Amino acid sequence: MRIKSVKWWTYHILVGGFAVLMLYPVIWLLMSSFKESNAIFVTAKSLIPDPFILDNFAEGWKGIGGNSFGVFIKNTAVLVIVTLIGQVISSSLIAFGFARLEFKGKALWFGLMMVTLMLPYEVVMVPQYIIFSKLGWLNSIKPIAIPAYFGHPFFIFLLVQFIRTIPRELDEAATIDGCNTFNIFYKIILPLIKPALATAAIFSFYWTWDSLLGPVLYLNSPAKYTVSMALNMFLSNETVSNWGAMFAMSVVTLVPVFVIFFIFQRYVVEGISTSGLKG
């Protein structure tokens, strides 16, 4: 029978306590979704819904304009998966190029990449919109999904930094063993940056899931809307906003994100013990 040490208790009380504090707003959100819509802000201080109702979920699920909320979730899921695959694969290829290979103009291209990261979206938004309009990609997810296959500077930079932590001796050993460059990428580096790849996947997932500006610009038919746009439609500045439905659906849409995170974070955590290789 193991008696938990004082250290164990202190750890869990401090960390756990802090976690609860941090989560208060989220808990508030969750509890509010069970309250009557008009009562949410009136009873804001009390976390306990009284009466406890599930109506918000039913109503929120009905969606907007005849599109059930399931439609919006499906749209968002498709967009997210397509984008995620594109971003992670292309960014890792590109990052390998920057981190491991030498070529003329590398510094220039790396600099350009950082520059694209720093330019606020609002400004390239309109010219890009015109380009996509001429390509006939309006009212579809193409303008968001297709560029994802050309790398995303954030992930490229992230992966570059991670690849640089891997000793080159590994590459050299692999070359001696007869690996060509692509094999080094695929067989050596890629497995070693699993934590970073998992991190990138998580970020890509929820950034795209939560993204608003892209969908607002490029999706015209409400049947194609994503979750974030749909949530906004519960609000109104002319009449009463349907807070209950909005919070309820916010909670519902949080679930997939949380699940994905939970699954992938194991890869972030486990990584691969490199003590054997690095020692």
Partner 1 sequence: MKKFMVMLFSLILVFSLAACSGSSTTSKSESDGKEKAASKNEKVTLRIAWWGSQPRHDYTLKIIDMYEKQNPNVKIEAEYASWDDYWKKLAPQAAANQLPDIIQMDLSYFSQYAENNQIADLTPYLDKQIDTKDTNQNIIDGGKLGDKLYGLNAGVNVLGYHYDPALLKKAGVESLDENWTWDDYKELAKKAKAAGLFVDTGVKADVFFNYYLRTQGKSLYSKDGTGLGYKDDKLFVDFFKMTSGLVKDKAVPTPDYMAQVKGIEDDPVVKQKAIGIWQWSNQFVGLQQVANRPLNISNMPGPDSDKGLFLKPSMFWSMASNSEHKVEAAKFINFLTNDIEANKLALGDRGVPGSAAVKEALKPLLSPAQQQVFTYVEWAEKHSSAFNGPDPIGAGEVIELFDSLNEQMSYGNLKVEDAAKQFRQQAESVLAQNKK
Partner 2 sequence: MATRVVKEHVQESIYIAPVSARKRAIKENIKGYLFISPFVVGFFAFTLIPILVSLYLSFTKYNLFSAPQWIGLENYKKMFTADPRYWQSLKVTLIYVFAGVPLRLAFALLIAAILNTASRAVGLYRSLFYLPSLIGGSVAVAIMWRNIFGDKGIINLLLELLGIPSVRWFGDPTAALWMLIFLSVWQFGSSMLIFLAGLKGIPKSYYEAASVDGANGWHKFIKITLPMLSPVILFNAVMQTIGAFMTFVPAFIISKGTGGPLDGTLLYSLYLFLQGFEFFNMGYAAAMAWIMLIIVGVLTAIIFATSKYWVHYESEGGK
* Interacting residues with partner 1 between 114 and 143 (CB under 8 A): 125-126, 129-131, 133-134, 138
Q: How far is CA 3 from CA 9, 10, 14, 106, 187, in A?
A: 10, 14, 19, 58, 46
Residue 212: closest CA among 228, 188, 200, 198: 228
Helices 153-163 & 69-100 angle (0-180, nearest 10)? 40
Q: How many CB atoms lie within 10 A of CB 34?
A: 21
Region binding partner 2 by CB under 8 A among candidate stretches 50-58, 65-73, 154-162, 214-222: 154-162
Q: Is 9 in the site for partner 2 (CB under 8 A)?
A: no
Which C-beta is closer to partner 1: that of 102 or that of 238?
238
**What are the helix and strand counts (H, E) for the chain?**
15, 0
Count of residues in contact with partner 2, rule CB under 8 A: 97
Helix, strand, or coil here: 64? Answer: strand
* φ, ψ of residue 130 in degrees (nearest 5): -65, -40
Residues in 47-66 that interact with partner 2 by CB under 8 A: none
Residues in 156-175 that interact with partner 2 by CB under 8 A: 156-158, 161-168
Residues in 173-232 that interact with partner 1 by CB under 8 A: 212-213, 216-217, 220-222, 229, 232
Give the footprint of partner 1 on this chain (CB under 8 A): 38, 41-42, 64-66, 125-126, 129-131, 133-134, 138, 212-213, 216-217, 220-222, 229, 232-243
